[in-house]
Amino acid sequence: MKYFVFSLCVFVAVIWVTPSHAQATQFDITPKVCVVLQQHEFCDLELKISWQTQLPQDLCLFQNNQQIQCWNDSKKGLYSHKARVQVETIYSLVNPHTGSKIATAKVEVQSTEAKTTRRRLRSPWSFF
């Protein structure tokens, strides 16, 4: 009987502590990767950004640390953004009142140029 009570308490604790999916945020950016011919070239993209939450709230879209767009008291948002990126860029949804990040996504820049350095196949301390 005491194992049953203990199991019941653990079950209730897990249910209580598990975060509610009511606060879940869906955040999507396409395309996620841009391919350039040579490293350090700029990549021009037309990004499609969409987000959706369960509850209406104020949110702002940031590219790295620069504010791009804000929505007031909304449950979802769509935005087209012309971006010129050279390195990996992080986009985030931020609550403007608290400054907390709600969701993040990144856009990567990859080159078709072969890398000039090779990865070492064994550790430098190996005797063999």
Q: What is the pLDDT of residue 36?
A: 86
Q: Please give the single-letter amino acid code of residue 88.
A: E
* Residue 25, pLDDT score: 84
Q: What domains, with CATH codes, occur in the chain?
A: 21-111 (2.60.40.2470)
Q: Using one digit for the tens of pLDDT, what is the confidence trace for 53-65?
A: 999 999 999 998 8
Q: What is the full DSSP assignment across the chain?
A: -HHHHHHHHHHHHHHHHSPPGGG-EEEEEE--EEEESSTT--EEEEEEEEEEEEEEEEEEEEETTEEEEEEEEEEEEEEEEEEEESS-EEEEEE-TTT--EEEEEEEEEEESSPPSS---SS-TT---
CA 51 – CA 55 distance, rounded (Å): 12
In angstroms, the CA 43 to CA 62 distance is: 19
- 90, 47 Cβ separation under 8 angstroms: no
Residues of the chain with pLDDT under 50: 3-4, 6-22
* pLDDT number for residue 128: 61
Q: What is the pLDDT of residue 19?
A: 45
Q: What's the pLDDT at 1? A: 55
Q: Please give the model's pTM, rounded to 2 decimal places.
A: 0.67
